[in-house]
Structure formats: C-alpha cells, structure tokens
Amino acid sequence: MRLSAQYLKPNRRRERTAKRVRAKRPRNRTGRCPGIFPLLAALGIWFGVTPALAGEVCRQVSDSDSVRTGRAALERRGIRLGHERTLRIVNETAGRAVSQRNTWLRSMRTGEPIAGTLAGKRVVVAVDGGRLRERVPKRRGPRRKSGHRGYDAPWREPKQLVIYVIDNRTGNVDATFAPVYDSTLGDCDAVFEMLVGYLKALGAHQASRLIVVGDGAPWIWDRADRLAKDVGLANSKLRQVVDWYHAVETLHEIAGIPRWTGTRRDSWIRRAKNALHAGDIDRVAALIDDIAVGRNAKKISSHRDYFVRNTKRMQYASFKHQHIPCGSGAVESTVRRVVNQRLKAPGTFWLERNAEGMLLLRSYLKAGRFDDLIDWSLLSAASWWAPDPQPRDLTRGPLLHADCPDL
C-alpha cells in the first residue's frame, strides 16, 4: 500500500550579491535542496529516522570513544547503519538540539524568572575550560590527490558549566537533584549567558545561597557579580570561592623557584598553607615578600597578586565552618568526562558545528539527562499525538524528568 504526504520545498528565489553573482542555495549531502514533510516533522521524525532511533544512535556514538565503537554497540542490538548515515544522524540531531537549546536559553534570559526546584536551596555553580582541536579547512593553496586543500588544526577551549545542589546543613551533594552540565565553544560571555538561562529556568532567584567556585582565572570573577544580578538574586546571597587545590598548587610553584633543599622548601609550604587555610592572606603575602630577593625577586612577586586580589575568595576556614565547598572538583571531573575522554583524543579534529553538538550530547549524557533532551525535542514538535494529552510546561526546556516528575 502506498501512502502520500505533503512535502514542503524551500523558497527557490535566489538573492543576488553585491557583485551580481547568484547566491548558492543550501544543499544537503545528496545534492538536493532540503525540504520537510510537515506530518513527519510534527511527529518528531527528522532526517529520515524516528526520535527513538535518533536518540539511541546519538547515545551510543556520544558515549563511545569513536563512531566505530558506537556503531559496533549498535550492531550488537541489531541496528546496522553505515558510517556516513550514522554520522549524519548524530550531527543533524545534535545540531537541531543545539539550535533548540539556544533558542530556549535566550527566551529564559530575556524573560522573568520562574519558580523552580532551586527555591530555598544552596546552589553551587562552577565553570572551567577544556581543550580540543578544531578542523579549519584551508580556502587557498594546492589541492591534494583527495581533492581538498588540507586544513589547519588550532586548539579551541570549550567552556564547561556545572550546576548542582548541596545540603543546607551538611554541605554534602544533594542526590535528589540531577546536576546540570552543558558546554559551548563560545567565549566567556557565552557560557555565563547560558548560566543565567539555566538558573532563571530553575528558579535560582529564590535560592538561599549561590556559590560560584572556580580557579583563579580573572574571566570567571569578572562576571560573578553580574551573574547574581542577572538571575535576580541579592548580592548578599552570593559567595565566591577560589579552588583550594589551585591555590596550594600556586604555593608549590612559588616554592620551586628558589633552589632550596627539600626540608626548607617543605617548611615554607607548610607555613604558607596554614596561613592560607586560616584566611590570613596578609601573612601569605608577607611570606612571599620574604623570599622575593635576588635574581628571582620579580618572578616570585608576580604570584603575589593572585592571593591579594582573591582575599575574600580564600577564607577557607570560614567556608568550611559554613559547609561551603572549597574545591572545583565537580567541574574538573566533568571536563575530563565530557571533553577529554571523547573530543580530545589524539588525531581527532572537529568542525565547530559538530563539536558543539557533541558537547551538548555528552554533557546531558553524563548528567543523566540524555532522555530529557530527546523527549524535549519531541514534545516541542507536537504534544497532541498522545491519546490523552496533558498540558506540559515547555518553559523547563530539556530539564524535564528529574525536576518535573509529573511530565
């Protein structure tokens, strides 16, 4: 039996550039202009596959260390797809998810905060950067035998964000709240704009405290105060913490500059760590000044400002008493699992669009929210196809299951 469905073609009118050259129409991999079947799109069927198949393919490929390993896992389940088709499903599905996420976060940033699961809770926010190699095709130069001109592979720094909740009394991680992971190849402002969108969607303006944890990178602390203001949280509820291990690492770096014996070096580090833990940054600065003599004076003194400008962020004894985390291990671990174990593999180079999509898939997968991301894509397409449709709060975006059990 044959079934027919309406197909919408793209607008075929061609715009002319300033030089009167016909602009190229966007084309898909088959060389034809892309169009859509509205009926299939309403059911969430994009790129020739159902949401269930697209979600399973994306899950296996993003959870594996390569496309080949992901295809092998799929074949063991009876899903046999070619390499090119698998890549197309992953890249197109991830690209659409990125577009949906960006649109939703933009609406959250510009809209009013909504009541959410973070009301009355202590929220910890951490951001950090990773590393991956981008594939930038060359536009000029001689062509190779394969037909392309080669490519450059500059390093890029994806920004990773983490949002989690800690218990008000003990400071332990609240296991009832699934953490939020996300990442972008955008700049520092882009990742903080994403943070604003997520925090406003989860009701962080009603949180009892917002704790920003990170290393000593100035780009983090230059935007922390603005973050609380954009979310709608009183500045008195904001706490900023420099990671303890980064601060101690800097002390070790300072102590390694003079040519000391092991005993003298360990003694200086011990005294500096005790002063640092007590929050006595003046004492730490004095210890640095005492050894900033001779040919190494300028090199040692260059580290002094790191502690002085972060004095309020290094009150570790007070933080420990208030059950405030003093380490950024959550985001460090997330960078390793999301970025390093998949996108930083040797000999791996990424187009920017594909890397952005894989970062989103990996982030939601490691946060335990991958199914929510796929469900959101389907729900935003059509919520009427269920036999008894219920009103759904789509303002939650892809944060569905863990925070909205009724959906």
Q: pLDDT by residue (tens digit) across 213-268?
A: 998 889 999 999 999 999 999 999 999 999 999 999 999 999 988 878 889 999 99
Task: Using the predicted structure, report yes or no on whether residue 5 has a pLDDT greater than 50.
Answer: yes
- pLDDT for residue 406: 38
Share of the chain above pLDDT 90, in %: 61
- pLDDT band with cut points at 50, 70 and 90 for residue 396: low
Q: pLDDT by residue (tens digit) across 141-187?
A: 788 777 777 888 999 999 999 999 999 889 899 999 999 999 999 99
Task: Using the predicted structure, report yes or no on whether residue 44 has a pLDDT greater than 90.
Answer: no
- pLDDT for residue 178: 92
Mean pLDDT of the chain: 86
The beta strands (E) that lie in 228-377 are given as 238-242
147's tokens = 């037909």
Angle formed at CA 119 by CA 116 and CA 120, multiple of 5 degrees: 165
Q: Are 160 and 129 in contact (CB under 8 A)?
A: yes
Report the run of H or E that residue 59 belongs to, with start and end.
helix 51-63
214's tokens = 């990170």
pTM of the model: 0.86
- pLDDT band with cut points at 50, 70 and 90 for residue 14: low
- pLDDT band with cut points at 50, 70 and 90 for residue 15: very low
Domain boundaries in the chain?
38-107+354-396, 113-138+149-238+328-350, 246-314
- pLDDT for residue 389: 47
Q: For residues 232 and 199, what is the distance between their CA atoms, to the nearest angstrom?
A: 10
The beta strands (E) that lie in 63-166 are given as 122-129, 132-133, 136-137, 151-152, 155-156, 159-166
- pLDDT for residue 34: 66
- pLDDT for residue 385: 43
- pLDDT for residue 79: 92
Q: Are 209 and 122 in contact (CB under 8 A)?
A: yes
**Whole-angstrom distance between the N-terminal and C-terminal Cα of the chain?**
37
β-strand 136-137 against 151-152: which pairing, if any? antiparallel
Q: For residues 305 and 250, what is the distance between their CA atoms, to the nearest angstrom?
A: 12
Q: pLDDT by residue (tens digit) across 100-122?
A: 899 999 999 998 888 878 989 99
Task: Using the predicted structure, report yes or no on whether residue 380 has a pLDDT greater than 50.
Answer: yes
113-138+149-238+328-350: in CATH 2.40.50: no
- pLDDT band with cut points at 50, 70 and 90 for residue 45: confident
DSSP 8-state symbol, 173? B
- pLDDT for residue 207: 93
